[in-house]
Amino acid sequence: MIVFTDTQPNVGATEASDFSRMVGEAAGKHVDTTVLAYGLGIGAEVMRGMASLRGANAFGMTKLHDVDDFMADEYPWFTTPIAYDLKVNASLSAGWSIARGLGFPAASDEEQVGLKSSSVFLSKHRGALLVALTPSTSDTLPTGLSGSFALEYTDAATGDLVGDTAPFAYDQAPLDERDQWFSQRGVARTTALGLFTEGMHEAAVSYETGDHTGAVAKMTAAYDRFATDAGALGDDDLPVEVELGAALLQLMQNNAPQGSLYGL
């Protein structure tokens, strides 16, 4: 079932919990639900709710041409999940702790971080999950880094439980001139984008709470780092992200008003 909505209900089941309950009941009857949300004022709570429900997913679109792009890229894969109850866990060697996850809602006990997703769909767009690490103590830096990822999910077609593990380790390769090291170029790119997104989010939260000075400081730091990363990577599609950061920083520096995208 495909639901077209602006996620701003004003009659009937108007709460996000109401919609989640209906989607959950449909999943119990083997009916999958995809939410296609249109407009600038998309209710984020509805979108987040779909990520925790079996057989459900959601996409947001703000411009008319987004519809054609979406159908060309995602149909028919978005209609049918391939796996349920996905769990990805990372564990580390002694001396290291997990600070946070980037790009996914992570739950961490310092020694292990986990990702859970009720449903998994195919997509032409490649994604990544980032885990930020930190030494367990500030006294000494650990001499090595290793660990493993554990993957588990239920096959949607057969109902079989599937699991696998993969080890990882830092081989003590020397840092580059920017005091960085990445095993692959794609990891460097993903890390740059992940940290930039995180920085913009933190700046936006500060701005929304009225701390404009703090927001500008956070946004400046995020922008400066990403602009440097983008220059070092030299990818053709990164300058537009640099422009986005500069525009957001300018708005914050100008104390732009905070309001609803619906003008209410």
What pTM value is reported for the model? 0.73
Please check whether residue 46 is in contact with residue 3, taking contact to mean a CB–CB distance below 8 angstroms.
no
- Amino acid found at 228: T
Give the pLDDT of residue 111.
Answer: 45
Element (H, E) at 210: none
Which of 110, 141, 170 is a domain's end point? 170
Which of 79, 108, 134 is a domain's end point? 79
Q: Which residues of the chain have pLDDT under 50?
A: 13-14, 110-111, 263-264
Give the pLDDT of residue 165.
Answer: 95
Give the pLDDT of residue 172.
Answer: 82
Give me the sheet containing 161-170, strands edge to edge.
107-108, 112-120, 83-92, 145-155, 161-170
Please check whether residue 203 is in contact with residue 211, taking contact to mean a CB–CB distance below 8 angstroms.
no
Give the pLDDT of residue 152.
Answer: 92
As for how many domains the chain has, the answer is 3
Q: How many CA atoms lie within 13 A of 26 on its CB side?
A: 18
What range does the domain containing 143 cover? 83-170
Residue 178 lies in a domain: no
C-alpha to C-alpha distances, 236 to 22, 24, 59, 210, 216, nearest whole angstrom:
44, 42, 26, 36, 27
Residues 42 and 66 grouped into a single domain: yes
Which of 120, 137, 170 is a domain's end point? 170
Q: Which two tokens stand for residue 230?
A: 């983008």
Pairing of strands 107-108, 56-61: unpaired
